[in-house]
Structure 1
Amino acid sequence: MYTVYGIPNCNTVKKALDWLKEHQVAYEFHDYKKKGITAEKLQSWAAQAGWEALVNKKGTTWRQLDADAQASITGEKAAIALMQEKTSVIKRPLIEKNNKVVALGFDEDAYQKAFQ
């Protein structure tokens, strides 16, 4: 079973969930806003995908940070602290299976390959 991590009102998450439903991929949804995320989980993802890939620097949450706060995110430890405090800064959706990152964000071509 896949686990989709995200927030339900995110358009990218909605696209991904619609794609998964359309292709009959079974999943459970983990809502960051309701359930949060552990530092251990973020460390596992960072080891697999790199902390830089996890921080969505194109999103509103990142852009709302002041320049000093943005500049302070120079390593994994600071990035994980930020992602725990402001879960909306995590790139969405992140999909995993058996603790392995399968997809980050939504890309239909990548999904075709990952969920065959």
Structure 2
Amino acid sequence: MVVYGIKTCDTCRKALKSLPGARLHDIRAEGLPDDVAQAALERFGDALINRKSATWRGLSEAVRAEAPLALIGAHPAVMKRPLIDAGGTLYLGWGREVQTALLG
């Protein structure tokens, strides 16, 4: 299981602590792999962008208008986190539904 996120993100840390054996792929340091990014965009669409984040609020309207994957590539902190790959199935965030699906 791979958790795509940022190592300093509290929500990513909570997910990692609850998912033994999961490894963190830091998108700020390593980027989001193209195949994962495309699959996530197809599954979650615009929900992949966290429009409540401080990073989002600090962006100009012109930058906000960029395509989601280009935006995440340039500003990784705007991605809603974590993005979890559990055996090929993608989950976004660490809400109750995701926790139930992954933890039972």
Provide TM-score, normalisation by structure 1: 0.78
Q: SS of 2:80's equivalent?
A: coil
- Consecutive unaligned residues of structure 2, counting only runs of 5 or more, are none
Q: Contact conserved, 1:4 with 1:27, CA < 8 A, in 2?
A: yes
Q: What fraction of aligned residue pairs are identical, expressed as a percent?
A: 33
Q: SS of 2:4's equivalent?
A: strand
Residue of structure 1 in register with 2:37 after alignment: 42
Q: Contact conserved, 2:4 with 2:32, CA < 8 A, in 1?
A: no
Q: Contact conserved, 1:6 with 1:13, CA < 8 A, in 2?
A: yes
1:43-76, Cα deviation, whole Å (9 max, x unpaired): 11111222x1111111111111012322x24xxx
Residue of structure 2 in register with 1:53 after alignment: 47
Which of 75, 78, 95 is residue 84 of structure 2 equivalent to? Answer: 95
Partners of 2:11 and 2:21 in 1: CA distance: 18
Residue of structure 1 in register with 2:6 after alignment: 7
Q: Contact conserved, 2:49 with 2:80, CA < 8 A, in 1?
A: yes
Could you say which structure has the larger radius of gyration? Answer: 1
1:27 aligns with 2:26: no
1:18 is aligned with what amino acid?
K
Q: SS of 1:48's equivalent?
A: helix
Q: Contact conserved, 1:8 with 1:31, CA < 8 A, in 2?
A: yes
Residue of structure 2 in register with 1:63 after alignment: 57
Q: Contact conserved, 1:38 with 1:84, CA < 8 A, in 2?
A: no
- Consecutive unaligned residues of structure 1, counting only runs of 5 or more, are none
